[in-house]
Amino acid sequence: MGNTPKADLGLPSLIIITGLSGSGMSSATNAFEDLGYFCVDNLPLTMLSTFGRLLVPTDGRPAAIEKAVLVINIRERHFLSEFSVELKKLARKKLVPFVVFFEASDEVLQRRFSETRRPHPADNGKGLIAAIRTERRAMTDVRRLADLIIDTTDHTVHTLRHLLVQKFSPHTDGKTLNVEILSFGHKYGNPRTLDLLFDVRHLPNPYFQKDLKELPGDTPQVLAFFAKHPEADETVQRLTDLLTYLLPKYKREGKSYLTIGVGCTGGRHRSVMVANAIGKALKKIGDFEVAVSHRDIQK
């Protein structure tokens, strides 16, 4: 199983997205559409070989479709029993798809389904958690067939898109350092995908100001609060200086994706302000692709 399609296979012409329900497959499909892939959601498994012909040049003519993404999951009736068989049929036609398996923790999947209020496809009346665990067990063999496994537990829509663009865009050559700055609240658990973590709980907390408690850290009122405290600006400057020193060294070592966590207690005020400020400063340097997201700003 490869971790980087660019290094192992070049950019694949056929990508199959599968995985656990609620793990981000729809968001991934949107990202692939923006990358120019022809995307088909919930393709019947029996049509996989037929569809594959569209990606193969015939009689000197170019393929009807240059590159495609197919989403096939447990909702497909024969998926679990026939998936590996259909992959072998494609291989006999000299078309080897790149399989990407999406997953997330039980807790995150439960929260996502609770927020959307959509029924889980594996729910047989025993409850959501039971359905999530049933599907995870059922998908074990499919997971083993994956070329790339993406855990979206700590990803937002934006960070997932950033990751997919970095891995599958024809315009990234592996020499670009893609920096994701993620604010979060320690009380909700540390993200598991961080390369660097900065704790900013030493800063004054707007949470204890009655008129600021419910406002996020990117609003003018909260920013004005931090402007009155020199340690806030000093923290941003020192962290920016450190990253300005470190990032070129990561890039020189060939690292293409770096996730930086900025944490405070609840993830709504201090970490949001610092993450935004650092991101703004790093974007001015111009040598890196920088994205900022806030995991817990709405909590």
Long-range contacts of 74-81 (CB under 8 A, 24+ apart): 74/21, 74/121, 74/122, 74/135, 74/138, 74/139, 75/21, 75/42, 75/121, 76/42, 76/43, 76/44, 76/45, 77/45, 78/45, 78/46, 79/18, 79/45, 79/142, 80/138, 80/139, 80/141, 80/142
Q: What's the predicted TM-score (pTM) here?
A: 0.64
Element (H, E) at 183: strand 177-185
- Asked if 228 and 132 sit in the same domain, the reply is no
For the record, the structure tokens of 269 come out as 């005020």
* Same domain (yes/no): 135, 185: no
Please identify, among 168, 189, 223, the residue that sits at the C-terminal boundary of a domain.
168
Q: Is residue 107 part of a domain?
A: yes
3-state secondary structure of 128: helix
Give the list of residues 6+ apart from residue 115 with CB closer than 8 angstroms, or none.
none
Structural domain including 229 reads: 177-294
Q: Identify the CA nearest to 205 among candidates 187, 225, 181.
A: 225
* Each residue's pLDDT expressed in tens, for the chain with a length of 299 residues: 334 444 334 578 899 999 999 999 999 999 999 888 999 998 888 888 889 888 887 777 888 888 999 998 887 777 888 899 989 888 887 788 999 999 999 999 999 998 888 889 888 888 999 999 999 999 999 999 999 999 999 888 878 887 888 788 776 555 678 898 999 999 999 987 789 999 999 999 999 999 999 999 999 999 999 999 999 999 999 999 999 999 999 888 777 778 999 999 999 999 999 999 999 999 988 778 898 999 999 88
With beta carbons less than 8 A apart as the criterion, state whether 48 and 78 touch.
no
Domain count of the fold of the chain:
2
Tell whether 119 and 262 lie within a shared domain. no
- 284 sits in the region (left: phi over 0; alpha: psi -120 to 50; else beta) called alpha
* Domain shared by 138 and 194, yes or no: no
Among 209, 241, 238, which residue's Cα sits nearest to residue 226?
Answer: 209
Bridge partners, residue 296, by sequence: none
Residue 114 belongs to domain with CATH number: 3.40.50.300
Which of 107, 141, 168 corresponds to the end of one domain?
A: 168
Same domain, 154 and 125: yes
**Amino acid at the residue 243:** L
pLDDT of residue 2: 38
